[in-house]
Amino acid sequence: MEVINTVLPNKEQMEGFLAPDDGAAVYMVNLLKYKDKAEYADGRVTDLTGQEAYYLYSKGVKKLLEKVGGEVTFSGSVRRATLGEIEELWDDIAIAMYPSRSAMLEMMQLPEMAEISVHRSAGLAGQLNIETVDAPKL
């Protein structure tokens, strides 16, 4: 299995995101890889690490999640892989619950999202997002 760690969705992923919503709650698994030092697109000088810049973004996202009825249900730092192998582990993992995919899209279009997204871009070297929904219990 090849893993491509990116920051922006490709065309197919965007089309899936914009597909009709079935109204089910979405649990977005975020696998995060930080830059050593934050790099802002506007060239501003900063002493922030990538993780610190992303933290500024995540504080804002938590507030926006609440606006659309969502919440961060889990966040943690990756320690090690206990099964399987991968070339490089992610730094942190976060799971955000959105009441629906349309609520997620609504949040992404809020003006505040554009304001805080500069910190996300500055801090992340890459990210893997996995959209999940409740499944029958195993």
pLDDT tens readout for residues 102-117: 999 899 889 999 999 9
Q: 3-state class of 47 per DSSP?
A: coil
Q: Which residue has the tokens 């892989």?
A: 81
Instruction: Look at residue 16 in the predicted model and tell me its pLDDT.
Output: 79
- What whole-number percentage of the chain has pLDDT above 90? 70
What Cα–Cα distance (Å) separates residue 83 from each residue in 15, 93, 124, 128, 131? 32, 17, 25, 19, 22
Of 64 and 11, the one with more pLDDT:
64
Q: What is the pLDDT of residues 48-62, one digit of tens each?
A: 999 999 999 999 999
By mean pLDDT, which of 11-15, 79-83, 125-129 is the weakest?
11-15
Residue 89 contacts residue 23 (beta carbons within 8 Å): no
Q: What is the DSSP letter of 125?
A: E
Tell me: pLDDT of 41 over 90.
yes
Helices (H), 27-69: 50-67
Q: Mean of the per-residue pLDDT values for the chain?
A: 91
Instruction: Look at residue 118 in the predicted model and tell me its pLDDT.
Output: 95
Encoded tokens for 97: 């619950």
Could you give the domains of the chain?
21-132 (3.30.70.100)
CA quadruple 59, 60, 66, 68: dihedral positive or negative? negative
